[in-house]
Structure 1
């Protein structure tokens, strides 16, 4: 894996988004500022309609904001990229190289095996990509299921395939939308453990959730209500052990 620096890898400044519903303007997001750092699991929480999924899609360069800016940081000291006004092709390149997505509904192609689903987004050469895909499936505990179709896998297994797919291009940022929403407790705990491992490697992990178990496992929690944060811009830190590790490192 590349050396991913522990720094702000994803940043929103004054992000706003509105829609027109039955002739009336609805403000979904209102001037949101957010910094997502490498080495941390960050959770976005809020009730349905609070704007958390819209914010995730904007941060993931899937939906343009009406106002504000989104900056994508890079690995190996690469400077942050201001995504404002970039053409679709450049945005697609950033999504492929710097962002990994995990969706609640998995979004696996049913006609392809687990291995093929992981390989498909790869930017590498075919042989190298397949080797990496097999290694990632082994990492998520699915080495023996590589040749199975999604329909032959449990929900937890499908979500782990989706996580392996998100990692195939070694992105510094991983985004997940309600990743445990369809999972049993055992699968949920396994997936949260994998997200923790990714953060410990220096990646920035951002989870949208309404699940208290997921937010409790995060280092930083931001709560959205009516399109704005109800907590300070830096969020609420929940992982005392992580804070202690940071302090110890600083002391050294």
Structure 2
């Protein structure tokens, strides 16, 4: 069978007989984890649900979640989780976030060293592969590590074992445009480390603007609260706060689907909210 586009490759994916075949297809065609495939699967899931074909809808839903997980933490971690033997990206990610929070909350060199080690471990677990899009976990890990190394560079009188070129290289990979705009004179820049779906960006920016301009929070704090809200809020919460955004309110949805939909939290994954950073004063 000749595969010409997302629809053909998704058909091959869904028709695969074994997990190994599924993993091989995703590795071979990294674009399967892209937005086009996700949108196509969600569209077909909705059509099947509207037709009361729950079994088919579940198949599309499962593959959408599978591909999304592969995009966030990589193919090896995803299929390791399915088989009960994850390679450790998720656990190491949580350790790195906790260690970073401990350092930023007033910790010293020990906490910073623990965080650096954890972010380097994440990078080892999701190595860059030139033939496909690198998992989003890698980009966030680059940013986390770069910020810690930069902190060590500017605060330590003798940053042993730290090369300036490593900090610069990591910072360019992870921060890039926001740093450049700040250097050009912008008071502050809100940017993203990877591509985020339009609706998620709309929600986060609208929430950020309310927190900043209406509640008077500092930009960094306003962004942090917006990220937490986008992460933790349900579809119902989002529709209530932003009733003028059709993509949020989803008018015309059948009553039964709406009751289930209102309780869902679709943006809990770091890929939706962790990409956004504030650079500036």
TM-score bracket relative to the smaller structure:
under 0.3
Larger Rg: 2
Higher share in strand: 1
TM-score normalised to the size of structure 2? 0.24
Which structure ranks higher in relative contact order (CA pairs < 8 Å, sequence separation ≥ 6)?
1
